[in-house]
Amino acid sequence: MLLRHTPKEITERTALNINPAKTCQPIGAMYAALGIHNCLPHSHGSQGCYAYHRSALTRHFKEPVMAGTSAFTEGASVFGGQANLLQAINNIFTIYEPEVIAVHTTCLSETIGDDIPQIIAKARDEGKIPPGRYVIHANTPSYVGSHVTGFANMVKGMVDYFATANGHKENRINLIPGYVEPSDMEEIKRLAGELGVSTIMFPDTSNVLNGPQTGKYHMYPTGGVTVADLILAGSSQGTVALGPLASGPAARALDTKCKVPCEILNLPIGLMATDTFIDTLRRIAGVTVPDSLNIERGRLLDVITDMHQYFFGRKVALAGDPDQLISLTEFLVSIDMWPIHIVTGTPGKKFEARIKEITKDVPHPVNVKAAGDMFLLHQWIKNDPVDLLMGNTYMKYIARDEDIPLVRFGFPILDRVGHSYFPTVGYRGGLRLLEKILDALLDRQDRDALEESFELVM
């Protein structure tokens, strides 16, 4: 493995990423589009791009991901992809009958400069878009940002194309969940339901990419936000956006377009971030927190208290998406673990500043890098070893080379199942995260224990 040749000596690299901790914008846009009911995502580019995007999502969710492609050839690369997209729109509505086609661009179509709104308007003028059907789009060049940026752009596209103010505010709150698992979206809705708050979540991939096995294939699963609800989002009393990078742009666009005030929070990972989410919903909706949620909170607090001795002072290295890493770092610091090496592949200096702020009281030097890569993370670990790794499947190589326990977290997770079904947000999600962390640490303790220290109980 190349990783075994990773040197400890760190050299500044300005033109080379090695194993970047991100993937490209269209994957995030495709994931967001799957959160619309009866929607077929469409990749405006070559078949190779579209195949990779579908494959990445299919391998992570272990579910078949359907999408269309403009299937660029050399001719489209030279003369533009308008003819391809017009034909694709006509074919998709005729054969597959979605309610919505969500077009995202790729490197190739962005470099050519295809004007997607103009092409959509031409398709409608030519009768290729049936009445009551829609085509929306997001610009998602892969050479800018990351999959999180692509997700944010497509969610903002949902607001731009659908949200409409009807002149008065309904007793309802919009929830924009961020780039999280279908199980997390389900848990966020459940928490709002426990509070008795009426909500519209968009996008919503629950029951789309974690649906039940029924023995029958459905191209458009039962889940996903409806077009009717996306339109109604413009008349909600407020919006709670979770994750500034993934959800912030759509929330601000909805405020500008329809005057729906927004609150942009961190993802509710761990005790404090979940408290903030619950309290924000309580305040906006004017409701009281029920005993059921107080009990869930108390259980999480009980486990933190009981297991604190095993968490205290343990050093952690993290890689993943900015919104997730900010909340995860805050959670780890709150239980007295020390996140000391933190990398995201997504650009953004605000991320580095926020992590530095969260870890300011950690009694150890902290390395953090936005637009970084796992090669740099590995070098940091070689120079200053840690007790635990947390990140996606690609971190397993560092875990093997350095003999460090790994807790899989984030996107993509290709070699395990469960992430689509078990949340890591909310109080219940916090319990699951603590269980995974504690299991990893104690499994290592048992493995390394001498005979006289091999305890039956903790």
Q: Do the Cβ atoms of 139 and 206 come closer than 8 Å? A: no
pLDDT at 1: 47
Side chain identity at residue 240, one-letter code: V
Q: Quote the CATH superfamily of domain 25-162.
A: Nitrogenase molybdenum iron protein domain (3.40.50.1980)
Residue 300: CA count within 13 A, CB half-sphere: 26
Backbone CA torsion sign across 60, 61, 63, 69: negative
How high is the pLDDT of residue 73?
87
Distance CA 363, CA 313 (A): 9
Cross-sheet strand order for the sheet of 199-201: 199-201, 170-176, 236-242, 262-265
pLDDT tens figures, 156-187: 999 999 999 988 899 999 999 999 999 999 99
Which positions ≥6 away from 286 have C-beta within 8 Å? Answer: none
Q: What is the CATH number of domain 305-452?
A: 3.40.50.1980
User: Is it true that 170-291 and 305-452 share their CATH fold?
Assistant: yes
pTM for this one? 0.96
Residue 139 has pLDDT above 50, yes or no: yes
Q: Which residue ranges make up each domain of the chain? A: 25-162, 170-291, 305-452
* 351-385 residue pLDDT tens: 999 999 999 999 999 999 999 999 999 999 999 99
Which of the four CATH numbers 1.25.40.10, 3.40.50.1980, 3.40.50.1110, 1.20.1080.10 does domain 170-291 have?
3.40.50.1980
* Average pLDDT estimate for 59-68: 95
- To the nearest whole percent, how much of the chain has pLDDT over 90? 90
Task: Specify the pairing of strand 39-44 against strand 406-408.
Answer: unpaired
Residue 458 has pLDDT above 90, yes or no: no
Show the tokens assigned to 343.
């990398």
Q: How far apart are CA 5 and CA 7, in angstroms?
A: 6
Interval 250-259: pLDDT, tens: 999 999 999 9
Q: How far apart are CA 234 and CA 168, in angstroms?
A: 10
Q: For residue 434, what pLDDT is reported?
A: 97
